[in-house]
Structures are given as C-alpha cells and as structure tokens.
A and B are shown apart, each in its own frame.
Chain A
Amino acid sequence: MLKLVCPYCGIEADETELVSGGEAHLKREGPDSTDDDFEGYLFLRENPKGVILERWRHAMGCGKWFHVARCTVTQEVFGTYPAQTFKPPPRIMEEIKSRRTGQENGLNSDKAEKFS
C-alpha cells in the first residue's frame, strides 16, 4: 500500500486517502482533432514496466490532484508535484536519472527526452 506526499498539504498520505487517475501530462484533443490524435488522447495509455508519471488525487484529504513519478516494478517513488504543469519539474527528472542509470525500469525514452 503506497504512501505519497501530497505536494499541497505536505502530509504523507496513505493510499486509502488517495484516488488514482492514470497517466499524467495527457494533451486534451478537442473538436478539430484528427481521428488518430483523438484515439491517442481517449484510449491509448502508457503501461510501462518502469517509471510512470501518473495522476493522484488527495480525495480524502485536501481534494487536490497531483502528479507522482513511480516505478511500477519496485514501487519506488521519485517525487510528487502539483498537477498545474505541462512537464515534471527538473528535480523529479534528476531524481529519476540518479536512481535509473541504465535503461532497465527507467522512464520511457520518448518521455525522458520530451521532459528533460
């Protein structure tokens, strides 16, 4: 059972206080989008064996959404950050890099490049 630090209220929240919301940093595709782009937005999700950037809501606490960098294999947490951003802050990327030197269980290379 995970324990994540809510970046708003600063408390170490137990998983029972949280609700997960899937992959973070999705770009919403509106009425003018192509079928492919819309499909990607609506249905296609990353399911990595490794580090994922994902959404969580402190639902039974302050009610705020935040983002988490977590390893799906080891449950390691590389940090949490507010949801009002298009990419993870540098400290998160650095933390991932420092603990995932090889490619194994790391952040998907497209993402790593996009967010670095």
Chain B
Amino acid sequence: MSTRLPTGGRFIDRSKPLNFKFNSRKLKGFEGDTVASALMANDQKVVGRSFKYHRPRGIVASGPEEPNALFTIGKDGEREPNQVGTITELAEGLEVKSQNHWPTLETDIGSMANLGSNLIPAGFYYKTFMAPRQAWKHLFEPAIRQSAGLGQPPTESDVDHYEHFYLHTDILVVGGGVAGLLATRLLAETGLRILLLEQSPNFGGRLVQDHAEFGEGASQDWVNSTLQELSSSKNVTMRLRTSVSGIYDHGFVIADERLPNTSGKSGYLKRRLWKIRTKRIVLATGAIERPLCFAGNDLPGVRLASGVRDYLINYGVSPGDRTAIITNNDDAYRTAIALAEVGLSVPLILDTRMEIRGTLPTRAKNLGLRIEPARGIGEVLGKKTVSGLEMCSQVGEGTSLEKIGCESIAVSGGWSPTVHLWSHCNGKLKWDETKVMFVPDWKHPPIDSHGKQNIFPIGSANGYLQLHEISSQVEQIVRQVAREFDKDLPEIQLPHTREITEDRCYGTWLIPYSMKPKKKMKAWVDYQNDVKVSDIDLAVLEGFESIEHSKRYTTLGMATDQGKTSNVNGIALVSHNLGIPMDKVGTTTFRPPYSPIPLGAIAGSAGKELFKPTRKTPIDAWHVSQNAHWEPVSDWRRPYCYLLEGESVENAVNRETLRVRTTVGMLDATTLGKILVKGKDAAKFLDLIYTNAISTLKPGRCRYGLMCDENGFLMDDGVVARLDETTFLCHTTTGGADHIHGWLEDWLQCEWWDWRVYTANITDQYVQIGVAGPEARNVLDKLGGMDLGEEELPFMSWKKGILGGHEVQVYRISFSGELSFEISVRASEGLELWEKIHEAGQEFSIEPYGTEALHVLRAEKGFIMIGDETDGTIIPQDLGLDWAISKKKDDFLGKRGQQRSYLIDPDRWKLVGLEVLDNDEPLPHGVYAQGETKNEFDHPRMEGRVTSTYYSPILKRPIAMGLVERGTERMGEVLKFNCGNKMVKAKIVSHIAYNTD
C-alpha cells in the first residue's frame, strides 16, 4: 500500500494537518501537499476511469504532465472539472471528486469495454458512424455521451474572481529550476527588467531531489541563497504557480497564475491571466519523463520513476512497500537508490540495455539491489492495481522468466525536453539520436518582428540533462542574450558540481521488442485518450503514415494533457512501424495552451455584466420607470414597447402603433448614428458616398440617402441634412454608426486623401426625440419658442431654434407617414426635454412608443429597414429605390458594381407587398414562396421570401413585404408560402399597405 512515511517530505508541513474529502472518504493531508500526494498518502490507488474503456487509472506523474489524476474540485459555484491533481494544492475542507465513472469509481459498468478493448480500435468512430444516419442519432450518440467525456461542466455561475494583468519586460525566464534560477541571477546584474515565472509552488525544479550538492554546498542552500539574492534585485520580478501557456508572435506571452485561497472563503481571486510583451525569452522549462510501452502499463501502481522519487522526497509518501523499476537509462536508478535509502524494498531493477556501467547503477549495486540487464516486463500482474510482474527477455516475445511480487512499478523511458513553448512560434526541432530526444534546432529558431531569434532554450529544455553541464551551458547562452541588449555579464564564480557519469539512454519503444499483438492491445501509449500500441499499428497499417494523420486517427496526444508523456513514444512507434528515422516522421504541431487555462481566467473580469457592456441613452432611466420591454439593438438597449400593468407585449405594440396614427407618440431615437461631415470638398465627397446627389441639397434641407458598397449592395440608409455650405449631418442606422464612420474615413484617408473633408461621429453627443402623429405640432407648439408651421418648416427641412428653453435642431422627417418631427438636443439636456414634451403632450394623450411600433409604422408605409429588406446581397433597385439613385452622377460607390450582368437581370427578386388570403395570422418571418416547378436538385423552386411581416392594428389585418421574382410585374398573383406544417397563400400587392397616396 502507498502511505505517508513517518519522516521526510520537504514540501509538507506536518504541523499543519488539513482535512479533505475524496468522493465520500474523509481524508487527511498536510499543508504543502498536492491533491495527488495526499491521495497517495491515503493509499487511494484508483483515482479515475479512462476516457474510452473506463479502465481504472492511478496517479502516474507528479507535475502538469499527469494524464490520469483529473478531478472535479470544489462544490456549487466553486466547482471546477478536470483539475489536474498533481498541480492542485490541497486546502482545508477541499472536496475532490473523481470523474468519468458510472455508477462508482470502484465499480464502473462502462469498464465492460475492457472485455474487448479490441472492439473500439483506432478510427472506431469514423468507421462505425458512416451509416446508417439514424443509428448515430438514436443509438451511438446517446451511448457515447453517457460513457465518454471527462468532468461535468458546472451548472452554477462561478462565485470566484479572475483578472488580467499586463506587463512589459525585457527578458522573460520561463521555469524556476536550476537553469532558470541561474540564468535569472546572471541576467539580474545587467539591470534589465527580468520576469521569472515558475509553474509549481516551489523554486528549484528537480535540483534538490535529484542532486545533494550544487555549488558551495547543499543544493537546497544554493536555491535559498539564489532566491535571497534575487528578491533584493529591484529589476527582477518572480512568481510561483504561474504557468506560461503560450508564446505568440512578436514576443507576446500568456501565463496563468493560480492564486492560493489564503482566506479559505469562497469568492476569492482565483486566477490571474498574465499578458506579457517581452523582447527575449529564456526557456528553462526542463524535461518530462516518458513512460515505456509494455502490457498492463496503465494499471494503478505503475508510475513514472521521477514521480515516485518526487512523492518520496518532496511529500514523504511511499509508493508501496515493494517497487520494481524498469528503465532504459541511468536516471531511474536515482529512484531505486532513494527508495532503498529510506528502507523501502526494491526487489528488482529491469534495465532494457545490454550493458550497465554508470555511476548510479554502480551505487545501486553497492546497496545490494538486484539489477537485470536486457530484461523487460512481459505483463503486469494484478486486476485493479499492480500485484506483481512477469520478467521477460527484452529481445524476445515476452515469455515469462520469473514472476516478481510488487505493489509499485517505477518506469523511465528517458526524458523529453519541454519544447512546447519553443515550438509555438515556429521553432523547429531535431531528433538527437544519441540523447534519444527531440531538441530545439537552433538553426530554425522562433524569431521576432526584426527576424532575430527571440527564444533561447537552456538546461534540460535545450537537451542538457546532466547537472555538471548546466552552469557553463547556461552562462554561454545567457551571455548571448545580454549582448543583444548591449550588456555584458560580469565575471562571476559559476556553481559547479561533481561529474556523474551517466550512460546513454537507449530508445526502447516496445517492451519486449517483439511484443505479441495481443499484448499490444494492453500496452498504452496515451493514457488519457486510451491509445494503445495496437491502435498506432492499425493506423499505420491503414495508411495513416503522416504523424499528423495517425495522431488524428488514433487521437494520440489530443487529450487535455496534450500528449506531454505520450507524443514521443507515439512518434517512435510510427517510425518503428514504417522503418523510417524519427527525423523523417517529425513531430505534430505544438499549440497553446501548454496546460489548460480555465475559461474564467480567459474572461478575466469581463464576465457577467461586464461581458458585453450595454449602451444606454440618457433617457434610459425614464424608460425603466415606464416598464420598458427591452430589445438589444447593436450595443444599445432600446424599448421594444412599454407595458401597462397586465398588458401583453402584443397589445402594447398595437396600442402604441394606434397612438401614433390617431393622436401622437414619442420615440427615443438617440441611438441613430449621427456623423458630421465638414469641409470644402464635403459635398463632392458625399456625392460619391451616397447613390443620390447630395451636392444639390440646399442648406436647411434634408434628403433620404442610400449608401452602397463597391459591389453595389445596399449597406446603410438615412437622412442627410445640409447644415451649411460645407457641413452635412449624415444619419445612419443604429447598428451602422461606427461602421459607416470607419467607411467614410477609409475613403478619405486611402482614396481621396487630398480632399478637404473631416468627419466626426457625434452619435453620443445628442439626444434625438421623435414626435409623430397628427397632434405632433400641437404638442411642440405648447413648449414654445419655435415656429414649426408648414411654411416655416416644410417636410424634409430642418431648423435651429429654442424649444421649451433648449437649444435644438428640429428635423421635419418621417418614418411613419405621419406628421413627424425629430428634435435633436445636447445629450445632457435630453431627459429634461423628453419630460417636457411628455408633459406637454398629456392633453393629446401622448405615449412613448418602442422599436416594434416603429417597425409596424414603417412597414405599413412600405419603408425598408436595413437588415430586414437587405441582407448584403440586395441592391437598391431590388427595393424599388431607383428614384434614390442618381443617373446624372458620373460615379458613386457601387455604381460600377450595379452594372454587372447578374444585378441588371430582370428576373431578380423585387420588393412587393404580400396580403395573406386564408386567415388573420401574419406570415412567419423569413418563409419562402414555393413555385410549381422543380429546381436542378429536384426540390421545389423558390420564387420569393418574406422580409418584414407584422399585424397592422390600423388596417386590422396582417401585412407583409417580401422579395419576389419579377415581383413588381406580378401584381395580384397568389403565392404559396411554405410555413413548415402548412402552405399559406398570399397575394402580391403594393408594398405600401396604409394610406397609399
């Protein structure tokens, strides 16, 4: 059994015990424990079930590379699924739940898949779900949804907080192990701004558990003194628990900081996402140990040798009484020695190599440990956890030579430099045959915007695993980095250490070498995604030879651990199968994030109400007080209608519409875009922007104008008012304001840059109030100050004046067909004037109306709405707006586009009105008219569609507009609209339904 040893554990504080819960078990750990170390100390062997086969799985590693120990942590609004137990720190009262099992962790029905893992081979999904289609929907998908997948997404809103943090620095050092610390110490002297980020809660990396001495004395002393020195350097910033997840172009870096919950209360600042710009990056990310592929290598109790060592030395946890070791390199002997030194049994060290000569094996031999060269594991014994192993010859087929009892197996398949970050921005890798690893290829480094190398790997990340090589190697590279800033490193005494001869690792990808096919089905490559040796064999056999293809076919390395432990083994197996060198197979593309980042951290503080801020007009509070029913219109919220007590939305819209038609209504039109265009050449410019002539407009007059893009498609519309000879106010749609302003600027800056024209988006500066209805003038006359009579202010004109004590511009324009004024006033006075108009209108029963009444009113009059009648493929001619297209102008934006053959085709769909014949229901939005003939695909040919459809309370019947093939030539014809469950007949009529004069 795995248990806590009475002494040891340099990270834990035995004076501070912590209580936590794993599923229903109440357990104890210590401060400094991770969830994984605490579970191991409590002999929790099975910690989860595998993705596809629901195999029992145990803890494998001690760092972020862990594939199995994924948990749901916390409860209610704190709950987070898929948290990696090896990097989640234990806290008092923590609730930890295992995932992906049903009904319980111990008894999982899904593990029937065990019975025939050959039933779900590589490409199973692709092969099985080809046909029939119904089987997917009713059989496979529900079954897969039940059995596959990791943790459940939280159902409640997250109670904790997140933030973003921005930082500029000269040099970022990633990784606070021996290489990172040494590099930071050397660079600190230059005075440059240095940022050192370490993903774990402790600096030092593997130095202390792997090496007793470094520099002058104990390696822990070196770490401590270095940290002390650095903490007094003003130009150095250091952070623990901060994982660099991605490096992007031009030195942009994202890092994810996990903040400990010091208060123990919920609702704390949980994560900080760092957004860093750095000139140079020193990569000291270390290396990750690889597992070995042998039958039964996924049974709980099989762990990475480095992980076993970490749990023993860092957390004082024994992996089990008897630990067998299997390795293809010398490093794993450190684990054997460490176990033996604390008195734990190491019955056997299986070394796949023929000759074993290094310093460490010799030390192990001197401790009396049994070392078997050229031996492998035929199969791991045990059902749910390891109970022993069968030793076999490495070169054979796996015949058992001897059975050995053990509860724990420590595995080392060699080390892979953590090159992910080097590769994010195109840094290339090369295969080093003697080191048996992919190392950064310095000939093809990631570069900055000037074409210069900007990432510099050092230490194990650069392929230098031996401690005695580190100092000079780091110094040399860091000196090069400093020189790029015109800085010289001072000559300092570098820490050194006694050389330990380590024999080279041998790439042993299959154990034994001639593994039988049956055994290959039990030999796992990717634990998290359940990819076995047999799957890779099959993928290659079926022709998925490119690593990018076999990866996707088998899903190798595509789980949340991104194949940190499995990728190189998978590549080696493809290489082995194809008989081509590793270099030729290559690697798959490394993409961010290196470790998963929670969505909360990505959102930062921009969650909840800050996710998308709502724009509100100065009259918003008044709308609230009148029980507005809201509608989002681009970033704004606008009243859709105002609900009286107990009133339905439908009734409110009808009431508001009738109010405008019979007496008077008022509308908050503030959101309409208002762009000021001014300058000597403004008229000439607007003649090119609008389809109609603007230069002929007289000061004091207004004109409805259309804007098209260069395709000729209608883009925006609105009223242009000429303020004076050189100044125009262009109204745009609510959603179009920013876009149209950008559009004008584009043409002014990039095409007609020598013209004297200036634009300003003044949408926010003014409140605009629409007053419409037969009594509109009477209401405004009561306010006093301006003559708004027909003579003074005819239709389509505007004037300045004082209305009710406010400086205003009044536009006599109408979007309803009624007598209508739009009054523009300084935003700060908007609410006051609004209330005055509302007050003055009381004797005329004035009521505010919302956007839906506005729509009904305009549709009754056949006025088009951008986004309803247009969809980016409609030209003004389709909408009967030929009258707004100048024939005299030589040029305007869209003129050439509209000359194209497809757009002058007489068969184009034209705007018409549609009158429902059968009943009183308005046509559904967007339905299509189905013709009598079939199209080339043997489907009914469509000949039109509905673009606007409403109930008209004044006409007491539904009205609609639509685009119909040659529609304007087909007045009186009846069309059939396919409304899903029924066909509805409608007659083609004029698009103007109300008051057609």
Cβ of A53 to closest chain B Cβ, rounded Å: 13
Point out the residues of chain A lying under 8 angstroms from B890, CB to CB: 30-31
Please tell me if the beta carbons of B248 and A1 are within 8 angstroms of each other in the complex. yes
Interface string of B748-781 (1 = CB under 8 A from A): 0111010000000000000000000000000000
**Residue B26 lies at the interface, judged by CB distance under 8 Å to chain A:** no
Cβ of B903 to closest chain A Cβ, rounded Å: 12
Point out the residues of chain A lying under 8 angstroms from B710, CB to CB: 41-42
Please tell me if the beta carbons of B891 and A76 are within 8 angstroms of each other in the complex. no
Interface string of B247-258 (1 = CB under 8 A from A): 011111000000
Interface string of A73-86 (1 = CB under 8 A from B): 01111000001100
Q: Contacts A2-B249, A38-B896 known; A55 to B451 CB distance under 8 Å?
A: no
**Residue B449 lies at the interface, judged by CB distance under 8 Å to chain A:** yes
Point out the residues of chain A lying under 8 angstroms from B252, CB to CB: 1, 3
Q: Give residues 879-905 of B contacting A (CB, 8 Å).
A: 890-891, 895-897, 899-900
Bound form: Cα–Cα A21–B751 in Å: 13
Point out the residues of chain A lying under 8 angstroms from B248, CB to CB: 1
Please tell me if the beta carbons of B753 and A84 are within 8 angstroms of each other in the complex. yes
Point out the residues of chain A lying under 8 angstroms from B746, CB to CB: 21, 57, 65
**Residue B711 lies at the interface, judged by CB distance under 8 Å to chain A:** yes
Partner of A1, one of B250, B447, B751, B900: B250
Please tell me if the beta carbons of A55 and B896 are within 8 angstroms of each other in the complex. no
Please tell me if the beta carbons of A2 and B895 are within 8 angstroms of each other in the complex. no
Cβ of B753 to closest chain A Cβ, rounded Å: 4
Q: Contacts A1-B252, A83-B750 known; A76 to B450 CB distance under 8 Å?
A: yes
Point out the residues of chain B lying under 8 angstroms from A114, CB to CB: none
Interface string of B595-606 (1 = CB under 8 A from A): 000000000000
**Residue A29 lies at the interface, judged by CB distance under 8 Å to chain B:** yes
Interface string of B729-763 (1 = CB under 8 A from A): 00000000000001001100111010000000000
Cβ of A84 to closest chain B Cβ, rounded Å: 4
Interface string of A27-62 (1 = CB under 8 A from B): 011110101001001100000000000010101000
Point out the residues of chain A lying under 8 angstroms from B745, CB to CB: 57, 63, 65
Point out the residues of chain A lying under 8 angstroms from B726, CB to CB: none
Partner of A64, one of B250, B277, B749: B749
Bound form: Cα–Cα A3–B248 in Å: 11
Please tell me if the beta carbons of A30 and B749 are within 8 angstroms of each other in the complex. no
Bound form: Cα–Cα A14–B248 in Å: 12
Q: Contacts A1-B248, A30-B891, A33-B896 known; A55 to B750 CB distance under 8 Å?
A: yes
Bound form: Cα–Cα A29–B378 in Å: 75
Bound form: Cα–Cα A75–B548 in Å: 24
Cβ of B185 to closest chain A Cβ, rounded Å: 29
Please tell me if the beta carbons of B896 and A76 are within 8 angstroms of each other in the complex. no
Q: Which residue from chain A places its CB closest to the CB of B741 in the assembled complex?
A: A63
Please tell me if the beta carbons of B249 and A1 are within 8 angstroms of each other in the complex. yes
Please tell me if the beta carbons of B753 and A31 are within 8 angstroms of each other in the complex. no
Point out the residues of chain A lying under 8 angstroms from B900, CB to CB: 35, 38
Please tell me if the beta carbons of B250 and A84 are within 8 angstroms of each other in the complex. no
Partner of B250, one of A2, A21, A31: A2
Q: Contacts A1-B248, A65-B750 known; A59 to B896 CB distance under 8 Å?
A: no
Cβ of B255 to closest chain A Cβ, rounded Å: 14
Bound form: Cα–Cα A75–B896 in Å: 36
Point out the residues of chain B lying under 8 angstroms from A65, CB to CB: 745-746, 749-750
Please tell me if the beta carbons of A74 and B895 are within 8 angstroms of each other in the complex. no
Q: Contacts A31-B891, A31-B895, A31-B899 known; A75 to B250 CB distance under 8 Å?
A: yes
Q: Which residue from chain B places its CB closest to the CB of A84 in the assembled complex?
A: B753
Please tell me if the beta carbons of B751 and A99 are within 8 angstroms of each other in the complex. no
Partner of A3, one of B447, B449, B897, B899: B449
Point out the residues of chain A lying under 8 angstroms from B899, CB to CB: 31
Q: Which residue from chain A places its CB closest to the CB of B746 in the assembled complex?
A: A65
Point out the residues of chain A lying under 8 angstroms from B897, CB to CB: 38, 42
Bound form: Cα–Cα A14–B447 in Å: 17
Partner of A76, one of B251, B449, B750: B449
Cβ of B894 to closest chain A Cβ, rounded Å: 10
Q: Which residue from chain B places its CB closest to the CB of A59 in the assembled complex?
A: B742
Cβ of B516 to closest chain A Cβ, rounded Å: 47
Bound form: Cα–Cα A116–B933 in Å: 59
Cβ of B251 to closest chain A Cβ, rounded Å: 8
Please tell me if the beta carbons of B451 and A76 are within 8 angstroms of each other in the complex. yes
Cβ of A62 to closest chain B Cβ, rounded Å: 11
**Residue B695 lies at the interface, judged by CB distance under 8 Å to chain A:** no
**Residue B426 lies at the interface, judged by CB distance under 8 Å to chain A:** yes
Point out the residues of chain A lying under 8 angstroms from B742, CB to CB: 19, 57, 59
Bound form: Cα–Cα A75–B248 in Å: 10
Please tell me if the beta carbons of B447 and A74 are within 8 angstroms of each other in the complex. yes
Please tell me if the beta carbons of B451 and A30 are within 8 angstroms of each other in the complex. no
Bound form: Cα–Cα A21–B252 in Å: 22
Bound form: Cα–Cα A83–B451 in Å: 24
Apart from A3-B277, A74-B447, A75-B447: 8 A-B pairs, beta carbons within 8 A: A2-B249, A14-B277, A21-B746, A30-B890, A38-B896, A57-B746, A59-B742, A76-B449
Give the interface of A toward B (CB within 8 A).
Answer: 1-3, 14, 19, 21, 28-31, 33, 35, 38, 41-42, 55, 57, 59, 63-65, 74-77, 83-84, 99
What are 17 A-B pairs with beta-carbon distances under 8 A?
A1-B249, A1-B250, A2-B249, A3-B250, A3-B449, A14-B277, A31-B890, A38-B896, A57-B742, A65-B750, A74-B426, A74-B451, A75-B249, A76-B449, A77-B450, A84-B750, A84-B753
Cβ-closest 7 pairs across A and B: A1-B252, A84-B753, A77-B449, A3-B250, A75-B249, A65-B749, A76-B451
